[in-house]
Amino acid sequence: MAQEMTSTSEHELVARCREGDEQAFRELVERYKGLVFALVARSIADRARAEEVAQDVFLKVHRGLPYFRGEARLSTWIYRIVVNVLAAERRPMKTEPLEGSGDGPPREFGVADRAFEDLALRNRMEKAIARLPVHYQVLINGHYLKGLRYEDLAEALDLPMGTVKTHLHRAKRQLRHLLETEFR
Amino acid sequence: MRCDDLDDVIEALAEGDTLSAEYHAHVAGCSRCQARLAMARAVDRLLATREAPVPPAAFTFRVMERVGRAEWRAEQLVDVGFNVAVAAGIALVVAGVVGLAWSLGWLTVERPTLEAVGAAIEPWVSSTLARGPTVVLAALLLTSALGLWWWVEGEASL
Ligand SMILES: [Zn+2]
């Protein structure tokens, strides 16, 4: 996993990749594929497309490694590529038609049928997350992903560490608003 | 305190942050804000228990395959560029040598000879110009074919 990697081994891995060591790059893909794929697949519902996009991320990593100066951590740099690739993926897409509308009072939740409500809500939530701006999307998708370091997420999104929580609250508020209105 | 004032702090409340007593007091007496808080808590709970999608088994293999293909294409491009540069270089050297020989008077061509050459190549030049695009395409194809051949030769000899 990414967080088990010390900076020296990361440094070595990058150096080996830059020398054209194919095995080193394979190792890099093995280390990061879990988090990269999870981040991408949480944003792109179509699995085949998600895999293609996750592959694109590593192709960009491979192409960019000769120019990677090591000023940022490798992980941060990779997540930044994820953000860019997701943003590019989003651009040509048409926004889905709104499902229902209106801004009546929020729906009440009974505790008894929570399991059923959870299932339905999860479905609506996934749709609503797909509608968030890419930065909010990556923040929410990444924050609740085990193994992804807080500081990597902050740096990849160009957020000062102290503001991550505020931004996360804003992202979740926007998500809640979508659930209270368009995705009721 | 109105419900709108609370909207900004619902997420913090859902995470269990302690805020000023006014907020807590409002929620206690407002069903609308209680519903919002319930929604925020449900979102938190679902986000925390969201399954992480796992990449397919052949993911690394497929990435390496694509990387290999991309590298091959890049090398091919470099080779073609290299061949074109070499050809252009040779042409320049030849033109330079001929020009030098000409200006030093080592190379003399009688005017009638030049005219004869001109007349001989004139039909070819005009018909070539008329079929310009086709000829250029053929020349490009030939160049890339030669480049590819040269590259394959180089790879095979490694
Ligand atoms: Zn209220």
Residue A94 has pLDDT above 60, yes or no: no
The answer to whether residue A97 is domain-embedded is no
Quickly count: other Cβ atoms within 10 Å of residue A23's Cβ: 9
Same domain (yes/no): A71, A108: no
Same domain (yes/no): A64, A109: no
Task: State how far residue B112 is from chain A, nearest Cα, in angstroms.
Answer: 59
- What's A127's domain CATH number? 1.10.10.10
Span B19-39, pLDDT tens digits: 999 999 999 999 999 999 999
Residue ranges of domains in chain B: 3-49, 109-158
Final residue of a domain: which of A57, A91, A125?
Answer: A91
Task: State how far residue A1 is from chain B, nearest Cα, in angstroms.
Answer: 14
Q: Which residue among B10, B32, B42 places its CB closest to the CB of A173? A: B10
CB-based contact B55 A26, cutoff 8 Å: no
Same domain (yes/no): A164, A114: yes
Span A59-88, pLDDT tens digits: 999 999 988 887 888 999 999 999 999 999
> CB of A19 within 8 Å of any CB in chain B?
no
Q: Which residue among B12, B39, B70 places its CB closest to the CB of A176? A: B39
Same domain (yes/no): A122, A80: no
- Looking at every residue in chain B, the average pLDDT score rounds to 87
The answer to whether residue A96 is domain-embedded is no
For residue B100 the two structure tokens come to 């030098």
CB-based contact A26 B43, cutoff 8 Å: no
Same domain (yes/no): A106, A178: yes
- What's A59's domain CATH number? 1.10.1740.10
Interface test with A, best of B6, B60, B61 (most A CBs within 10 A): B60
B100-111 average pLDDT score: 77
3-class secondary-structure state, position B23: helix
Same domain (yes/no): A65, A5: yes
Same domain (yes/no): A33, A75: yes
> CB of B30 within 8 Å of any CB in chain A?
no
Final residue of a domain: which of A39, A72, A91?
Answer: A91
Task: State how far residue A26 is from chain B, nearest Cα, in angstroms.
Answer: 7
Q: Which residue among B7, B46, B55 places its CB closest to the CB of A121? A: B46
Give DSSP secondary structure letters for A7-62.
Answer: HHHHHHHHHHHHTT-HHHHHHHHHHHHHHHHHHHHHH---HHHHHHHHHHHHHHHH
Q: Which chain B residue has its CA at the smallest distance from A51's CA?
A: B55
CB-based contact B43 A179, cutoff 8 Å: yes
CB-CB neighbors (< 8 A) of A173 in chain B: 7-8, 10-11
Final residue of a domain: which of A91, A115, A147?
Answer: A91
Same domain (yes/no): A56, A131: no
State which residues form the domain around A124.
102-184
For residue A111 the two structure tokens come to 């505790």
Q: What are the residues whose beta carbons fall under 8 Å from the beta carbon of A87, sequence distance 6 or more? A: A134
Same domain (yes/no): A108, A32: no
Task: State how far residue B25 is from chain A, nearest Cα, in angstroms.
Answer: 20
Span A2-24, pLDDT tens digits: 444 555 588 899 999 989 899 99
Answer yes or no: are the C-beta atoms of A141 and A43 closer than 8 Å.
yes
pTM: 0.70
Residue A100 has pLDDT above 80, yes or no: no
Given pLDDT bands bounded at 50, 70 and 90, which one contains residue A108? low
Span B35-53, pLDDT tens digits: 999 999 999 999 999 989 9
Same domain (yes/no): A65, A109: no
The pLDDT score that the predictor gives to residue A103 is 44
Amino acid letter, residue B70: A
Same domain (yes/no): A108, A68: no
Residue A26 has pLDDT above 70, yes or no: yes
Residue A134 has pLDDT above 90, yes or no: yes
